[in-house]
Amino acid sequence: MEKTIIINIGNTIIHIEESAYELLKVYLNEVKQHFINHADDLEIVTDIENRIAELLTEQLEAQKKQVVDVNDVNLVIAQMGRVQDFDGVEENEEEPVLNTNYQFQADKKLYRDMDERVIAGVCAGIAHYINTEAKWIRLAALLSVFLGGAGFLVYAILWIIMPKAKSRIERMEMKGEPANLQGFQKNLDEELLAVKQGLAIAGKHTGSIFGQIGIFIGEFFEWLGRFISGTGKVVFKVIAGLIVLFGVLFMLSLIVGFAAFQGFWDSSVYEYFPFSIIDEGNRGVILFSAFIVFFIPVLALVLFSIRFAFNKQAINKTLSFPLLIIWLAGVATAGYHAAKISSEFKQHAELTQSNDLKSYKTYIIDIDRSKYFSKEDSLKYNINPDNRRQIVTDDFDNGPFVAPYNIRINVEKSENTASRLIQKYESQGKTFQRALQNAQNIDYNYHLKDSTILFNPRFQLRKGTIWRNQEVWLNLEVPVGTRLIFKEDAYRYINNWGTWDCSDKEGDENGYSTWIMTEEGLKCIAQLKEEALNKKKLQLELRELELSKKMRTTDSTFQDSVLSRMKEVKEELGIKPEENTDNQ
Amino acid sequence: MIAENTQIQMRKGILEYCVLSIISRGEIYASDIIAELRSAKLLVVEGTLYPLLTRLKNNGLLSYNWVESTSGPPRKYYTLTEVGKDILSQLDQTWQELAYAVGVSQEGAKS
């Protein structure tokens, strides 16, 4: 296989192979150069070109082929005659051969030598240009790299700006060989010889260790290129295959999920958080648009991967446009509903309900860990209230009601001597009215039994109400001096106290912690006890220090240490340093 | 080398005369002239002929007609002009004299 070129010679269009074209070009250039000093050079050259066109056309017809090759051009040249054979027939004022040689010798051009390259043939090209051996240039380049790395940059720039010597003429221009037919033939013969010798080409260009390394590096890069284009392609195809596999699985799960959410299996999923914000009427539309929004890009990715991995068009191109339209429609619908839903969180409303509590010295606060069962639930789960051995518990850590449904308890100091429990229901809504309505639809219960307050850990929404960030706050106000006992994990719902600070060892073992309302707020009794103990200790130490201060009044170092310790203790006790300490 | 030089000079001298003689037989195409010359073992390459023909034409000895060709570009068919014919007859005369001169110098004068 060879590249063909279309040429116009003598007003005739001829297809010619690239190598043959180069040969012909060189020949015609020579002819032109030969007749350049002739009075009628244009006419002569035109005549010759016309004749060449005629000869080539005849040869193509005779051989019944379409493209001129090197042999055809060689035949034409043989018939027309070499420039050297022209001599002696027409007298020329100047020696023509010398003339042509001179004209072309000057044309030495800077190319990258791909035949003798180590990396990109830059050094070899420069060597040709300035007529030295490539190894010296390479040595200089190598040294410049060691001298600070500028060589890298220069090499890279030269690599970019110097063209490759691709064609034979370019290679000849690079080496400064006369680009006439003789030089051309010489170059061609050299190349043929090199090809025939096969591996001998390596020996021809090298002979030195440097060249050997160059050939190794060249081959290494060639191998690397082949590896990337070969194995790399395989890797990409494997990746594309995996994308197809996982994409198909994802699409299947989307379909299954879509079907599930449409209510084929279980409608209770709508009580979970992200789905609980969707109101029932629009559920189908929103789900469908969300399905489209996710499904179509995955489908597109899978189709693209199929095309890449198996070189097959998996889908008609006309189908991709409607798919895009459907996807955009899905995005628009989903976006519209998302905006609509988010607008329903715009207004805030809260509903407060205050209950006075009977006064007790101590309140026990507990969380109702049993699930509330309606009659239907009891029937559903086959719970018989007479069967005492059956215990139903609900692990509400893993239960279906996550964070949004949990209640929050605040314990605060009462302004008067009465205790009360304030229930605050909050909600968002599109309008204040709607928000209030949403808050009203909160269903929450707690139980009072003597001094025990039994809180339900979570609230529920009445049927038909959708989640609009409803919250239940329970503010328990107790007067100063009231004790509070938090049973087990009730502290988890207490919002205003870090209960981890209370190291009530006794209480921990029994599953409760005792607290007391003080002027400063709620305090852990165990912690108060510890603080009091600490205070007593410090006061004792202070007294001792004051006593020891009166002894050994002459020992100044002892006095200093006692004074500084007293200052520390006083600071910890909160006693202001006395005015007269400076005088002493 | 000296022999070669002389040979070239001799060929050169008669080439123009031969070409004119061939054309004088009738309208003819350049490559046909070559064929004739080749059969006469006088000339090898076509490239030599074109400058010669151009010079003869420019000196008014030849004229040409464009003739359409089935293969390739139109061809130039050369004919002798009146001047050409005149000159050819002069050259004929000269050739006779030269042939005589050569003959005599080789075999001696027949008195």
Instruction: Give the pLDDT confidence of B61-109 residue by residue, as tens digits.
Output: 888 888 887 777 788 889 999 998 999 999 999 999 988 998 888 887 6
Query: Is A155 in the B-facing interface, judged by CB distances under 8 Å?
Result: no
pLDDT tier for residue A94 given thresholds of 50, 70 and 90: very low
In this structure, are A328 and A475 located in the same domain?
Answer: no
* Share of residues in chain A with pLDDT > 90 (%): 1
How much is the pLDDT for A220? 77
* Contact check, Cβ <8 Å, A54/B8: no
How much is the pLDDT for A100? 40
Which of A11, A54, A57, A93 to mutate to test binding with chain B, by most B CBs within 10 Å of its CB? A54
pLDDT tier for residue A209 given thresholds of 50, 70 and 90: low
Calculate ∠ Cα A84-A90-A94, nearest 5°.
70
pLDDT tens for each residue of A33-51: 888 877 778 888 888 888 8
Q: Does the pLDDT at position A3 exceed 70? A: yes
In this structure, are A406 and A479 located in the same domain?
Answer: yes
Out of A179, A205, A231, pick the residue that ends a domain: A205
Which of B53, B54, B70, B75 to mutate to test binding with chain A, by most A CBs within 10 Å of its CB? B54
- Show the domains of chain B with their CATH numbers: 2-106 (1.10.10.10)
In this structure, are A251 and A379 located in the same domain?
Answer: no
How much is the pLDDT for A581? 47
In this structure, are A272 and A337 located in the same domain?
Answer: yes
How much is the pLDDT for A96? 39
pLDDT tier for residue A434 given thresholds of 50, 70 and 90: confident
In this structure, are A443 and A472 located in the same domain?
Answer: yes
d(CA A291, CA A297): 11
Query: Is A32 in the B-facing interface, judged by CB distances under 8 Å?
Result: no
Q: Does the pLDDT at position A527 exceed 70? A: yes
Average pLDDT over chain A, rounded to whole?
Answer: 75
Among A379, A377, A396, A582, residue whose Cα is nearest residue A489: A396
Query: Looking at CA atoms only, how far is residue B85 from chain A in angstroms?
Result: 22
Which of A8, A37, A48, A51 to mutate to test binding with chain B, by most B CBs within 10 Å of its CB? A51
User: What token pair was written down for A176?
Assistant: 């400064």
Q: Does the pLDDT at position A474 exceed 80? A: yes
Q: Which residues pair with A409 in a beta bridge?
A: A474, A494
Query: Looking at CA atoms only, how far is residue A5 from chain B in angstroms?
Result: 18
Q: Is residue A116 part of a domain?
A: no
Query: Looking at CA atoms only, how far is residue A62 from chain B in angstroms?
Result: 11
Q: Does the pLDDT at position A204 exceed 60? A: no
A29-38, A354-363, A463-472, B20-29: the lowest-pLDDT one: A463-472
In this structure, are A333 and A354 located in the same domain?
Answer: no
What's the order of all strands across the beta sheet hosting A347-357? Answer: A347-357, A419-429, A471-478, A408-413
Q: How many CB atoms lie within 10 A of CB B47?
A: 25
The beta-carbon neighbor of A51 closest among B12, B46, B55 is B46
Helices (H), A418-510: 432-440, 505-510
How much is the pLDDT for A514? 80
Buried b (16+ CB within 10 A) or exposed e, A270-285: beeeeebbbbeeebee
Q: Is residue A117 part of a domain?
A: no
Q: Does the pLDDT at position A112 exceed 50? A: yes
d(CA A390, CA A537): 54
Q: Is residue A227 part of a domain?
A: no
pTM over 0.80: no
Amino acid residing at A362: T
* Contact check, Cβ <8 Å, A12/B73: yes
Amino acid residing at A40: D
The radius of gyration computed from the CA coordinates of chain A, to the nearest angstrom, equals: 49
Among A160, A162, A159, A142, residue whose Cα is nearest residue A151: A142
d(CA A394, CA A246): 38
Residue position matching structure tokens 């191998």: A223
d(CA B96, CA B108): 17
In this structure, are A565 and A465 located in the same domain?
Answer: no
Among A483, A510, A515, A520, residue whose Cα is nearest residue A499: A515
Q: Which residues of B touch A54 (CB under 8 A)?
A: 31, 69, 71-73, 75
The radius of gyration computed from the CA coordinates of chain B, to the nearest angstrom, equals: 16
Query: Is A46 in the B-facing interface, judged by CB distances under 8 Å?
Result: no
How much is the pLDDT for A101? 41
Q: Does the pLDDT at position A268 exceed 70? A: no
Q: Is residue A115 part of a domain?
A: no
Domain hosting residue A383, numbered range: 347-519
Q: Does the pLDDT at position A71 exceed 70? A: yes
Q: Which residues pair with B62 in a beta bridge?
A: B80
Query: Looking at CA atoms only, how far is residue A91 from chain B in angstroms?
Result: 10
User: Phi first, then psi: what are they for A515, rounded to 5°?
Assistant: -130, 160
Q: Is residue A100 part of a domain?
A: yes
Interface contacts A/B by beta carbons within 8 Å? 80
In this structure, are A361 and A318 located in the same domain?
Answer: no
In this structure, are A143 and A99 located in the same domain?
Answer: no
How much is the pLDDT for A452? 84
Q: What would the mean pLDDT of A117-126 be, rounded to a whole number?
A: 80
Q: Is residue A215 part of a domain?
A: no
Amino acid residing at A529: K
d(CA B50, CA A10): 15
User: What token pair was written down for A509?
Assistant: 């073992």
A69-78, A189-198, A316-325, B92-101: the lowest-pLDDT one: A189-198
Q: Does the pLDDT at position A208 exceed 70? A: no
pLDDT tier for residue A569 given thresholds of 50, 70 and 90: confident
Q: Which residues of A touch B55 (CB under 8 A)?
A: 40, 90
Q: Does the pLDDT at position A387 exceed 80? A: no
pLDDT tier for residue B111 given thresholds of 50, 70 and 90: low
d(CA A121, CA A130): 14
In this structure, are A164 and A293 located in the same domain?
Answer: no
User: What token pair was written down for A379?
Assistant: 């029937």
Q: Does the pLDDT at position A211 exceed 80? A: no
Q: Is residue A371 part of a domain?
A: yes
pLDDT tens for each residue of A327-378: 899 899 888 888 888 888 888 888 888 888 888 888 888 877 665 555 555 6
The beta-carbon neighbor of A89 closest among B12, B71, B72 is B12
DSSP characters over B30-64: HHHHHHHHHHTT----GGGHHHHHHHHHHTTSEEE
Number of separate domains in chain A: 5
The beta-carbon neighbor of A57 closest among B31, B55, B72 is B72
Q: Does the pLDDT at position A230 exceed 80? A: no
DSSP A163: P
DSSP A260: I
Q: Does the pLDDT at position A546 exceed 80? A: yes
Q: Is residue A213 part of a domain?
A: no
Query: What pairing do the DSSP bridges indicate for beta strands A483-487 and A362-367?
Result: parallel
3-state secondary structure of A156: helix
How much is the pLDDT for A501? 59
Q: Does the pLDDT at position A459 exceed 70? A: yes
Buried b (16+ CB within 10 A) or exposed e, A165-181: beebbbbbbbbbbbbbb
In this structure, are A407 and A434 located in the same domain?
Answer: yes
In this structure, are A556 and A450 located in the same domain?
Answer: no
Query: Is B3 in the A-facing interface, judged by CB distances under 8 Å?
Result: no
